[in-house]
Amino acid sequence: AQKITQTQPGMFVQEKEAVTLDCTYDTSDQSYGLFWYKQPSSGEMIFLIYQGSYDEQNATEGRYSLNFQKARKSANLVISASQLGDSAMYFCAMKNNFNKFYFGSGTKLNVKP
């Protein structure tokens, strides 16, 4: 069974600073995908970034980067130059070969001006 763990229920960051949101996962699958989603207070889930289990380089998408450490089974999200609009819930998710997406419990990020 897959399990996604996000140990930070809430985080604060000063505007313009970088922040790291932690995610660890547990799977016996060899092939899997790791995703981060942002959920603002309005409720929609917004895809941010993807990392494949076989990817050797860390994924980057604009201000988002994923610090992937396969041996440690961690896939931390780094947001650089935080903006007030980054305040939201952030979910780490894993997709397996059986089409299933499993989500962690989320981290609520608050960006302070």
Partner 1 sequence: DAMVIQNPRYQVTQFGKPVTLSCSQTLNHNVMYWYQQKSSQAPKLLFHYYDKDFNNEADTPDNFQSRRPNTSFCFLDIRSPGLGDAAMYLCATSRDGRVDTEAFFGQGTRLTVV
Interface residue list for partner 1 (CB under 8 A): 4, 31-33, 35, 37, 42-45, 47, 50, 52-53, 91, 93, 95-106, 108
Q: Shortest approach of partner 1 to residue 34 CB, angstroms?
A: 9
Handedness of CA 87, 12, 104, 58 (dihedral sign): positive
Identity of the residue, 63 or 108, whose beta carbon is nearer to partner 1 in the bound complex: 108
Separation CA 11–CA 71 (nearest Å): 26
Separation CA 100–CA 10 (nearest Å): 26
Q: Shortest approach of partner 1 to residue 14 CB, angstroms?
A: 24
Identity of the residue, 7 or 31, whose beta carbon is nearer to partner 1 in the bound complex: 31
